[in-house]
């Protein structure tokens, strides 16, 4: 049940069998997603990271790509929605970031997202949401957030999913095997490959 903080009363949600694996940058999402893929589960990568890597391959560094924040958020939103559209609602898929995460990143970039965009992002209801606590920050050519930014992103994502009425499971900073065990226990065998 959605909480009173859901911004659109009488809003029609599409229930899915999708699973969001979310958290701040450098929280181990991608490692967890990759392990789930090795185990035979359907997974979907982080579309924002894919975009940054594509731009990096074209010779644009992360700071250049982040220069026009509004254009960047619009492109990532487009790619995230296009990516979600590739999967059947009834097919279990583990997503590296959920669609609502785009709201957090837009807000933290100082960009006010319109109602139409928010409706699109919130129109899909995830079966499960796992929020990974941050790991020690480890930047690379794509990931440039500071420890304090990482913490703000984590808290904002956690607050958003709970505000949206999800019974999200927050997974602490533990080994990947222990994280997998928590995910499998939460799914309790009801997930088909």
Identify the pLDDT of residue 142: 61
Identify the DSSP state of 189.
T
Identify the pLDDT of residue 4: 33
The pair phi, psi for residue 53, each rounded to 5°, is: -65, -35
Q: Alpha helices, DSSP H only, in the chain? A: 29-38, 47-57, 62-65, 69-84, 101-108, 115-122, 147-163, 176-187
From the list 97, 159, 86, 176, the residue with the least C-alpha distance to 130 is 97
Per-residue pLDDT tens digits for 126-156? 999 999 999 887 666 666 667 888 899 999 9
Identify the pLDDT of residue 108: 87
Enumerate domains of the chain plus CATH numbers.
15-187 (3.40.50.300)
Identify the pLDDT of residue 69: 77
pLDDT (mean) for 66-72: 75
Model confidence at 53, in pLDDT bands (50, 70, 90)?
confident
d(CA 36, CA 96): 11
Is the predicted pLDDT of residue 1 greater than 50, yes or no? no
pTM to 2 decimal places: 0.86
- CB 23 within 8 Å of CB 157: yes
Identify the DSSP state of 132.
E
Share of the chain above pLDDT 90, in %: 54
9: buried, middle or exposed (CB in 10 Å: 19+, 13-18, 0-12)? Answer: exposed
From the list 157, 164, 159, the residue with the least C-alpha distance to 7 is 164
Per-residue pLDDT tens digits for 160-171? 999 999 999 999
Residue of 5 and 85 predicted with greater confidence: 85
């Amino acid at each position: 049940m959605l909480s009173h903080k859901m911004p659109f009363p009488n809003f029609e949600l599409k229930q899915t069998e999708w699973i969001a694996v979310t958290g701040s940058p450098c929280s181990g999402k991608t490692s967890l997603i990759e392990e789930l893929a090795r185990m035979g589960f359907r997974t979907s990568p982080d579309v924002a990271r894919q975009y940054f890597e594509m731009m990096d391959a074209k010779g644009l560094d992360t700071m250049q790509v982040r220069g026009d924040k509004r254009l960047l958020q619009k492109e990532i939103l487009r790619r995230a929605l296009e990516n979600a559209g590739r999967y059947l609602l009834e097919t279990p898929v583990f997503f590296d970031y959920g669609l609502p995460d785009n709201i957090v990143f837009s807000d933290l970039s100082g960009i006010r997202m319109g109602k139409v965009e928010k409706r699109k992002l919130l129109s899909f209801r995830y079966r499960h949401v796992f929020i990974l606590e941050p790991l020690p920050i480890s930047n690379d050519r794509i990931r440039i957030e500071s420890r304090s930014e990482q913490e703000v992103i984590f808290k904002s994502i956690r607050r958003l999913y709970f505000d949206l009425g999800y019974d999200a499971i927050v997974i602490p900073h533990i080994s990947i095997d222990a994280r997998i065990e928590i995910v499998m226990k939460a799914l309790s065998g009801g997930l088909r490959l």
